[in-house]
Amino acid sequence: MSSEVNSACCHDEQPDRQTVQPHKRQLLQRLKRVEGQVRGIASMIESDRYCVDVLTQIQAARAALDAVSLQILQDHLRGCVQQAVQHGEGDQAIEEITTLLAKWKG
């Protein structure tokens, strides 16, 4: 497992822009928990639990996913985007982010 670093680091010279997530371990733990939540929702439906209770659990899983994406976005802005700006490639990096945020807003 890679060591934790302070900000996401995009190796732009690589075609696939590999990025070590600075909060990698934490993110993986959170996603493990989300996976468990999703399995839990399925088992609630299996055992005919009340709709509103199921919906409440789906909301919780959704909020957990949102927390994960907010963390990644924050680290991406701090790391990749800052680096891109410093290398004169900020416009492209920002274009990417706003395209993504436009979909968030739905």
Site of interaction with a second copy (CB under 8 A):
2, 8, 10, 16-21, 24, 27-28, 31-32, 34-35, 38-39, 41-42, 45-46, 48-52, 54-56, 58-59, 61-62, 65-66, 68-70, 72-78, 80-82, 85-86, 90-91, 94, 96-98, 100-106
Minimum Å gap between C-beta 84 and a second copy is: 9
The helices-and-strands tally (H runs, E runs) of the chain is: 4, 0
Helix pair 51-76, 24-46: axis angle to 10 deg: 160
Minimum Å gap between C-beta 40 and a second copy is: 10
Q: Which tokens in the block code for residue 46? A: 């299996």
Q: Is 49 helix (H, G, I), strand (E, B) or coil?
A: coil
